[in-house]
Structure 1
Amino acid sequence: MAQEKSSDPLDIPPITIEQSIEVVGSWAENHLLTSGTLIEALVLVSILLASFALRRVMVPRVDTILARETLLPGMRHTLHRLLLVASSGMGALLAWIAHGASQSAGLDGELLRIAANLLTAWVVIRLATSFLRQPGWAKLITAVVWFVAALAILGWLQAFLDLLDSIAFNIGEMRLSLMGFINGILLLTLFIWLSSLVARLVDSRLIYLEGVTPAARVLIGKVLRIVLYLVAVVVALTFVGVNLTALAVFSGALGIGLGFGLQKIVSNLFSGIILLLDRSLKPGDVIEIGDAYGWIRQMGARYTTVATRDGKEYLIPNENLITEQVINWSYSDTAVRLKIEVGISYRSNVHRAIELMVEAALTQPRILRDGIHAPQAHLSGFGDSSVDFELRIWVSDPQQGLVNVASKVRLAIWDLFHQNGIEFPFPQRDLHIISAEGLTQRKPDPDDRSRPATDSAAGEDKLPPAAD
């Protein structure tokens, strides 16, 4: 006599694919392929269509109302997610009401019960994950958790776990199954997330510690993050049941291969640690390397972020900061000297021009004015058309820009020179004509330098016509 199969798959622990399929078929035959299943299916489809129509009608209207309101950043997106969850919750509520009505009408109601449980689980999971900041992770977690919940609701969870555990192979004395692999991935993801959370918490607390330099804070946070990640990997492997001693030889060979393959990454990692230890660079320093000029915003494990005044961010590998020449404008002192070249005409007062250039520099509050950092103007040379000067100024905040303060000083010099009669030069040339038909000769006046060109020659008589 054949053994009667139970309608509950929890009573039969299948360990093979054939047995699992047989259990699912038996359950479907007992609960779904009945006379009342068609009625329940029609009711369920009606509920789903009503929920979908409600979402299509209500969500755009509520979004329009929210767009008119002034809300905090991210609040509008959060309310939109909650509205979608509420529409699914309405479907779950209607499914429960239909399930109660079907039982009152004498129907089995198993299909509606399953649908109501699945919709309820979906609403609870979506509500729990709607506050996550990463939408991609929220969708992935929702799908995985709801899949497990659906298996539990249908009573197939243990059968599914047994099926995953049956797919396995042995490596020596160690047994590796698909179930163990999935557990290892989940545990590793969880522990790495916890490690990252702890590292971010420590980084936020290090800011408030007095006496700790920015470079030391970055170094502590980086070392702590690496240690936590290593601990997370070891703990995850231990939980899965992997014998770490058995992997010693394999890990050594793997380490050599990774060392050659990830040479640049490892080099950048240790270069970043060296930079933090020798304190040659730290967050906030104004540096210049190649075409990049700006201040260090962040020092990571692989690269250093250099932000510029143009809104660009250069991601410079740490190895380049070790091997290439780097100009650190704020290594020992944040004061930076700028040189502004100025020229005046030969007829202007040179001493008065020097006083006005210094006065123009002192009008800018960012320019230092004490001791050796005081503005100074020097006569640097005599040009063809101008007397050349060099104005030297110092600023203590180069991260705020250098071109802008130099431009303001030049504008101040322009205004003061025009107010005090100091002329800016323009190119001048003296043209001496040796001979020309129809011009009289005269001796050039050595004191007359105001004329840009003279038509002087060796005598005062007219020149004879040139021979053909």
Structure 2
Amino acid sequence: MENETLTETSVAAEAAAPAEPVGDVVVEAQQIALSLADQAQGFLEGLLRPWNAYQLMIALGVFVVAHIVGKVLAEPTREWMRTLENWPKWRLRFLLVLQRRLRLISFVAILFPLVWIMREMTWPSRSYLLGVIANLALAWLMIAVVTRLINNGFLRSVVRYAGWTWATLVILGVTEEAQSLLDSAAIELGSLRLSLWTVVQAVFTLGVLFFLARFVSKTMASGVRRNEDISPSMQVLVIKFAQVGLYGLALFVGLRATGVDLTGLAVLSGAIGVGLGFGLQKVVSNLVSGVIILLDKSIKPGDVISLGETFGWINTLGARYTSVVTRDGREYLIPNEDLITGQVVNWSHSDDFVRLDIYFGTAYGDDPHKVRALAIEAAKGVDRVLSHKAPVCHIVGFGDSSVDYILRFWIKDPTGGLTNIRGNVYLALWDKFQENDISIPFPQREVRMLEAGAKD
């Protein structure tokens, strides 16, 4: 009986054993929260002391003075900035950031000398609270100015509020307590322990690494684009591979730095593989097609292509699509897969020379030798028509009412348009034929009007 009781007790203890770490975490979080509450209570009680109340009143008075100074200086500084139109934009933006924070700048500029004077004339404890307020104001000012360098509005707000929070914790001296509180709020997934502190570390580390990767990739991209020895398609390929490599390295280093076990990502990679097999076939196909296009150099930025009814030049080669700009200003985003599987006419694949053909007819009474010579002469006088690839004119048939000709000429700038150059050549032909009495016939028809009741 005694053995059965011991067995039941041991089983119950073993069953309850896994719950002990959770209870420890809860107790630890409660202790940290109570410690922070005690510190906050002590801070509030300290504010009731006479000199602390005096310091708060002094800080409030300095804020009022800084507000008045900011209002007085706002308009003169705004007028002065309007005279600096020749300055670079980044300098003007920086001055605008400072101009909008004249009140905070004035507050810091007045409060710090005041704290120094009080420390020299009285006990340091009687200016401690003013020193904390001055440090907080200076930190907030510096963070507000620095974060204006971030163009993305959402990212700028996240970095700004995170920086303000961290600076406040550091100045108040409660960073260890805050870190312990965030670390106590955690969940365990197998061997992985995920806490709020780990998430904060990961977000900060990955943010910094992604920022560095973006900066390095943009610097590298500008250097590659300036290198004229590299073809445009290879430039795009090098830039894309560099971006993928840098961002992948940033993600790997960031996760390793925060202590994330990357072997646990095997399940995620398997799920991604299943997703690629079912739902992302087109996306992957376009990505692979984009790499193939860059490798085989079938098209490159600047090439003039025709795809179905779309005629234009390649603006950019993206990872998923290719941007084609037409003469009417439309920009078509064509999936890369269509450029691989469809028939594409590249007008400037091996060279920029393009031959254009136009058809016309003249009357039977005109000398065809003279007509051919006049047509060639008219084409040579049109801008953009190449002279070293001389135009030619041939008879292609005898029509019902005219002798039919074809005029062929070459250009080297298809991006300048095809319809306009054809129109200019037609206009030159018209002028040349008018000067030499060459007629362009049109069909003649005879219509007979029969009287009512007339017999055939």
Q: TM-score, normalised by structure 2?
A: 0.81
Q: How many angstroms apart in 2 are the aligned matches of 1:54 and 1:354?
A: 85
Mapped pair 1:186 → 2:201: no
Q: Is the contact between residue 88 and residue 119 of structure 1 (CA under 8 Å) also seen in structure 2? A: yes
Q: CA separation of 1:71/1:310 partners in 2, compared to 1, >3 Å: closer, same or farther?
A: farther
Q: How many angstroms apart in 1 are the aligned matches of 2:420 and 2:68?
A: 59
Q: Is the contact between residue 74 and residue 102 of structure 2 (CA under 8 Å) also seen in structure 1? A: no
Paired letter, 1:34: R
CA drift at 1:414: 2.6
Pairing of 1:15-414 with structure 2 (within 5 A)? 16-30=32-46, 32-55=47-70, 58-59=73-74, 61-74=76-89, 75-99=91-115, 108-134=126-152, 136-207=154-225, 209=227, 211-257=229-275, 259-370=277-388, 373-383=389-399, 386-414=402-430
Q: How many angstroms apart in 2 are the aligned matches of 1:425 and 1:76?
A: 67
Q: Is the contact between residue 303 and residue 347 of structure 2 (CA under 8 Å) also seen in structure 1? A: yes
Q: How many angstroms apart in 2 are the aligned matches of 1:73 and 1:315?
A: 35
Q: CA separation of 1:82/1:363 partners in 2, compared to 1, >3 Å: closer, same or farther?
A: farther
Q: Is the contact between residue 339 and residue 390 of structure 1 (CA under 8 Å) also seen in structure 2? A: yes
Runs of 5+ in structure 2 lacking a partner?
A: 1-28
Q: Is the contact between residue 354 and residue 411 of structure 2 (CA under 8 Å) also seen in structure 1? A: yes
2:445 aligns with 429
1:378-432 CA-partner distances (Å, limit 9, x unpaired): 3344555554433222212212222232232223223222222223445532234
1:421-449 CA-partner distances (Å, limit 9, x unpaired): 2234455322345x559xxxxxxxxxxxx
CA drift at 1:317: 2.0
Runs of 5+ in structure 1 lacking a partner?
A: 1-12, 438-464
Q: How many angstroms apart in 2 are the aligned matches of 1:259 and 1:395?
A: 47
Q: How many angstroms apart in 2 are the aligned matches of 1:291 and 1:51?
A: 66
Q: How many angstroms apart in 2 are the aligned matches of 1:60 and 1:288?
A: 57
Q: 1:415 aligns with which of 431, 437, 449?
A: 431
Misfit runs of 4+, over 6 Å: none
Q: How many angstroms apart in 1 are the aligned matches of 2:421 and 2:234?
A: 33
1:457 aligns with none
Q: CA separation of 1:414/1:136 partners in 2, compared to 1, >3 Å: closer, same or farther?
A: farther
Q: CA separation of 1:139/1:169 partners in 2, compared to 1, >3 Å: closer, same or farther?
A: closer
Q: TM-score, normalised by structure 1?
A: 0.79
Paired letter, 2:406: E
SS at match of 2:126: coil
CA drift at 1:362: 0.9
For these two proteins, the number of residue pairs brought into alignment is: 424
Q: Percent of pairs identical after alignment?
A: 38
When Rg is computed on C-alpha atoms for both structures, the one with the higher figure is 1
Q: How many angstroms apart in 2 are the aligned matches of 1:338 and 1:284?
A: 20
Q: How many angstroms apart in 2 are the aligned matches of 1:231 and 1:166?
A: 30
Report the RMSD for the aligned CA atoms in angstroms: 3.2
Q: Is the contact between residue 184 and residue 240 of structure 1 (CA under 8 Å) also seen in structure 2? A: yes
CA drift at 1:183: 0.9
Q: Is the contact between residue 70 and residue 102 of structure 2 (CA under 8 Å) also seen in structure 1? A: no
Q: How many angstroms apart in 2 are the aligned matches of 1:242 and 1:131?
A: 31
SS at match of 2:100: helix
Q: CA separation of 1:246/1:80 partners in 2, compared to 1, >3 Å: closer, same or farther?
A: closer
Q: How many angstroms apart in 1 are the aligned matches of 2:273 and 2:208?
A: 24
Q: How many angstroms apart in 1 are the aligned matches of 2:108 and 2:297?
A: 60
Q: Is the contact between residue 267 and residue 319 of structure 1 (CA under 8 Å) also seen in structure 2? A: yes
Q: Is the contact between residue 93 and residue 116 of structure 1 (CA under 8 Å) also seen in structure 2? A: no
Paired letter, 1:228: L
1:33-55 CA-partner distances (Å, limit 9, x unpaired): 33455554444344445444554
2:17 aligns with none
Structure 1 range deviating more: 268-277 or 134-143? 134-143
Q: How many angstroms apart in 2 are the aligned matches of 1:387 and 1:55?
A: 86
Q: Is the contact between residue 294 and residue 308 of structure 1 (CA under 8 Å) also seen in structure 2? A: yes
- Point out the structure with the larger helix share: 2
1:444 aligns with none
